[in-house]
Amino acid sequence: MKITPEIIEQHNLTGDEYRRIAALLKRAPTFTELGIFSVMWSEHCSYKSSRIHLKRLPVEGDCLVQGPGENAGIVDIGDGWCAAFKIESHNHPSFIEPYQGAATGVGGILRDIFTMGARPVAALNSLRFGPVRDQDDSAEAAGSVIARNRRIMTGVVKGIGDYGNAFGVPTIGGEVVFADCYSLNPLVNAFALGLVRREQIFYGKAEGVGNAVIYVGAKTGRDGIHGATMASAEFDDAALEKRPTVQVGDPFAEKLLLEACLEAMRSGAIVGIQDMGAAGLTSSSCEMGARAGTGIEINLDLVPQRETGMTAYEMMLSESQERMLIVAERGRERQVHEIFARWDLDAVTIGRVTDDQKLRVVHKGEVVAEIPNSALTDEAPRYDRPQSSGNEAVHVDPAPYLNEICGRIAGEIGSSDLHDVLTECLRRLLASPNLACKQWVWKQYDHMVRTNTVVLPGADAAVIRVKETRRSLAVSLDGNGRYCSVDARAGARLAVVEAARNVVCSGARPLAVTNCLNFASPERPEVMRAFSETIDGMSDACRALGTPVTGGNVSFYNETEGRGVYPTPVVGMLGVIEDTRQITTPWFAEAGDRILLLGATGDDLGATEFLESLGGVVAGGVPELDLEDELAVQRTCLRAISAGLLRSAHDCSDGGLAVALAECCFSHYRRDSLGARLDLREHLDLSGIRAMADADRRMLALLFGETPGRIIVSAAPDRADAVMALAAQEGADCAVIGEVGGDRLSISLGAHTLIDERVDVLEKLWRESLPGHLDRAGLDER
């Protein structure tokens, strides 16, 4: 086939990039080679717009065994055990085909884990969708948008559930966030965690010239061709025509592949192994060769095929799922074949490791591609894309919106009494989709298989025990696109420290980070600037915490019809709990316990959930973060847990203190709800306030502001002083703010009651919100 400018454009390559390909090959590429370059040089595979920035992330730490560049990051968790973990996006496919898109996202990340030799023990996911409740229907966005968002969410959740449930990995947590900008750009970030003995780690390296290259797993079909290229472009109204680029998942095949791979790894016959994910056979073969400084030659005639008449181009670009490429010791091929046969899987030797550092592809007796590995990997283009200049952000004063919200609510409930208005604000916040209970989601996930789930979903961090040791692992996924849309650098820092705070609340020491960076088109300077700022913010916070970034994923072009997502970095924080008996949960435990607040509350109403959920606006600057204060609070919490002083610990973030307190009160498995009486007089300094309007605003900030670095803890009455003493030693603010008991949540400021409501009333609003919006959605669709 003659390569025309149209063909080059269809491959999402620029004229310059094409000339660079020809220069690297010292000739014009064949059609198959053009296809290979197009996927390997796609944004998705090459990180061409992000690479120069990603270098700034800290990648060093004592616990680090494997940093970025492999299929997953690995850290040492003690006793000879290591944790392999990574997060990856499957945003584009999940928009086009929600069920399969999300399912194969889970499949891909699980393979990234077990290709390292680790058995996956937990999955989490970070999901973002457009609004799903009717009242979010603005005039121009008709009900069809809401219905579509619900359909996407329902499909994504089912896809994640069906894949993970059948595979047998517990899906134990994550986050679900709603905002307008995700309406036609859902974000589906899948995280997986696996365990491996340190000496049994495998890498994606094609070592040993003459060794066998073995194809294992499912057969190759025409599905997912150009998936990586699709994921590297923005969508227009023809997006759904791209459905054939989405792969189809088979969790059963993946489960067999897992067991067979782990068995083959134990046999000692395997030298290197890599998942055929994005860009399938192409990326696995050239990357394994590149990492080992060798080459790989494969014969496509030998590749197990699901369809007849497949061309070399199709086979090299197929993203059929549940496949792996293995390099096995020469002479031990048969042993590997037998193991896979036992699991009824194909295993075929399709090539050899060579010494010429090239990827050579033979089909029907002809060499259809011969490309130096480096041309596909290190020599891929890198762009320092233009960024808009800084400081263009002008913060809108949130004050008028605050007045509008309170005034409107006062009108709607027919009372302008401060306590009535504030209590109604809390009710509405708890019922808002972003803050409401996410049980509708996690109930569809098997979150208990493998019997390690020692904290059920809904806590600050997901926690699993490591049966072989006395330790447990905690994971939290956190992102805040709204903050990042206002200030990417500050937002990224906040995401990192919040993720750390969440694992700390469970009793874990933060260990390392994986990140998923979801952005709109890098060709827009303001997006690129936000990206760069995000990297700097994340680096700051990770350095301060001493948590290296072990890898992750960048997803650009999350925009449809010119509308992009908020800059949405998602942080996956892994922490280790030294003693499983010390696991701490957010829920108040016993009447009479003292409630303490670690950290100070500032006037941080900007960019809050309060403004967005109740007022539909993003206004004001993001909350101020003082890293030293934050760390002091986290250290205090962790030391108090280790000393056995705490009965509960809960991060105070989205929705503010009042929402966090309500969550501490709610019922949990085998624990009824508990009330709490709080007086925030000790905590809030009213001295600077002159006018009543100031006071109202300070009360809103106190209840619903999102000052970071705060943790609500509870302790037996005779332990409260010890917690205070620890906080003083660490230099953290700390005050006793109330007592657990009764069946109401009542928050006062001296003689003024701010909030007073029965806990069961609040809990009902919180629990029934999402099912109310979503289960009806199913009926709409049928």
Catalogue the active-site residues: 44, 90
The site map against other proteins for 552-591 (x = CB under 8 A) is ----------------------------x-----------
Q: Which is nearer to other proteins, 427 or 767 (CB)?
A: 767
Residue 779 near other proteins by CB under 8 A: no
Classify the C-alpha dihedral 149-150-151-156 as positive or negative.
positive
Query: Cβ neighbours of residue 196 under 8 Å, at least 6 residues apart?
Result: 74, 81, 82, 83, 84, 116, 117, 118, 119
Shortest distance, CB of residue 472 to other proteins, whole angstroms?
10
Q: Which stretch binds other proteins (CB under 8 A): 252-260, 408-416, 547-555, 685-693?
A: 252-260
Among 252, 355, 417, 764, binds other proteins (CB under 8 A): 252
Among 669, 687, 690, 751, binds other proteins (CB under 8 A): 669
∠ CA 641-642-647, nearest 5°, is 30
Residue 166 near other proteins by CB under 8 A: yes
Q: Which stretch binds other proteins (CB under 8 A): 74-82, 166-174, 323-331, 639-647?
A: 166-174
**Half-sphere exposure of 541 toward its Cβ, with a 13 Å CA cutoff?**
29
Quote the tokens at residue 695: 């006071």
What is the rounded distance in angstroms from the CA atom of residue 548 to the CA atom of residue 768? 39
What is the rounded distance in angstroms from the CA atom of residue 713 to the CA atom of residue 717? 12
Residue 22 is given by DSSP the state H
Kindly identify the residues of this chain, within the stretch 447-466, that bind other proteins according to CB under 8 A. Answer: 447-451, 453-454, 456, 465
The site map against other proteins for 622-661 (x = CB under 8 A) is ----------------------------------------
DSSP for 708-729, written as a single string:
SS-EEEEE-GGGHHHHHHHHHH
Kindly identify the residues of this chain, within the stretch 177-236, that bind other proteins according to CB under 8 A. Answer: none
Kindly identify the residues of this chain, within the stretch 730-759, that bind other proteins according to CB under 8 A. Answer: none
What is the rounded distance in angstroms from the CA atom of residue 406 to the CA atom of residue 252? 53
**Half-sphere exposure of 729 toward its Cβ, with a 13 Å CA cutoff?**
12
Q: Which stretch binds other proteins (CB under 8 A): 207-215, 253-261, 644-652, 676-684?
A: 253-261
User: Do residues 307 and 222 touch, judged by C-beta distance below 8 A?
Assistant: yes
Quote the tokens at residue 153: 């969410």
Shortest distance, CB of residue 102 to other proteins, whole angstroms?
14
Residue 764 near other proteins by CB under 8 A: no
Residue 306 near other proteins by CB under 8 A: no
Residue 340 near other proteins by CB under 8 A: no
Amino acid present at 734:
C
Helix (H), strand (E) at residue 346 = strand 346-354
Among 2, 670, 687, 691, binds other proteins (CB under 8 A): 670
User: Which residue reads 């009717």 in tokens?
Assistant: 134
What is the rounded distance in angstroms from the CA atom of residue 55 to the CA atom of residue 72? 17
Among residues 380, 369, 377, the alpha carbon closest in space to that of 287 is found at 377
Residue 444 near other proteins by CB under 8 A: yes
Q: Which is nearer to other proteins, 19 or 443 (CB)?
A: 443
Q: Where are the beta strands (DSSP E) in 105-145?
A: 119-129
Q: Which stretch binds other proteins (CB under 8 A): 1-9, 83-91, 244-252, 730-738?
A: 244-252
Shortest distance, CB of residue 338 to other proteins, whole angstroms?
14
Q: Which is nearer to other proteins, 466 or 499 (CB)?
A: 466
What is the rounded distance in angstroms from the CA atom of residue 622 to the CA atom of residue 482? 9
Shortest distance, CB of residue 219 to other proteins, whole angstroms?
15
What is the rounded distance in angstroms from the CA atom of residue 70 to the CA atom of residue 82? 15
Quote the tokens at residue 92: 């584009």
Query: Cβ neighbours of residue 294 under 8 Å, at least 6 residues apart?
Result: 206, 207, 208, 209, 353, 354, 355, 357
Bridge partners, 456 (sequence order) = none
Query: Cβ neighbours of residue 338 under 8 Å, at least 6 residues apart?
Result: none
Helices vs. strands in the chain: H and E counts, helices first: 27, 28
Shortest distance, CB of residue 415 to other proteins, whole angstroms?
35
Q: Which is nearer to other proteins, 343 or 556 (CB)?
A: 343
Quote the tokens at residue 247: 């792969």
Q: Which is nearer to other proteins, 440 or 557 (CB)?
A: 440
Residue 44 near other proteins by CB under 8 A: no
Shortest distance, CB of residue 475 to other proteins, whole angstroms?
18
Shortest distance, CB of residue 89 to other proteins, whole angstroms?
24
User: Which residue reads 């680029």 in tokens?
Assistant: 245
Q: Which is nearer to other proteins, 668 or 744 (CB)?
A: 668
Shortest distance, CB of residue 189 to other proteins, whole angstroms?
21
User: Do residues 123 and 164 touch, judged by C-beta distance below 8 A?
Assistant: yes
**Half-sphere exposure of 21 toward its Cβ, with a 13 Å CA cutoff?**
27
Characterize 656-674 residue by residue with b for buried, 16 or more Cβ atoms within 10 angstroms of its Cβ, and e for exposed: bbbbbbbbbbbebeeeebb
What is the rounded distance in angstroms from the CA atom of residue 491 to the CA atom of residue 498? 10
Among 70, 162, 319, 612, binds other proteins (CB under 8 A): 162
In terms of residues, how long is the chain? 782
Among 230, 256, 474, 658, binds other proteins (CB under 8 A): 256
Among 151, 219, 255, 744, binds other proteins (CB under 8 A): 255
Shortest distance, CB of residue 166 to other proteins, whole angstroms?
4
Number of residues that bind other proteins (CB under 8 A): 35
Q: Which is nearer to other proteins, 456 or 505 (CB)?
A: 456
Q: Which is nearer to other proteins, 397 or 672 (CB)?
A: 672
Shortest distance, CB of residue 315 to other proteins, whole angstroms?
25
What is the rounded distance in angstroms from the CA atom of residue 278 to the CA atom of residue 292? 20
Residue 546 is given by DSSP the state T
Residue 167 near other proteins by CB under 8 A: yes
Residue 161 near other proteins by CB under 8 A: yes
Q: Which is nearer to other proteins, 171 or 634 (CB)?
A: 171
Q: Which residues bind other proteins (CB under 8 A)?
A: 158, 161-162, 165-168, 250-253, 255-256, 343-344, 442-451, 453-454, 456, 465, 467, 580, 669-670, 775, 778
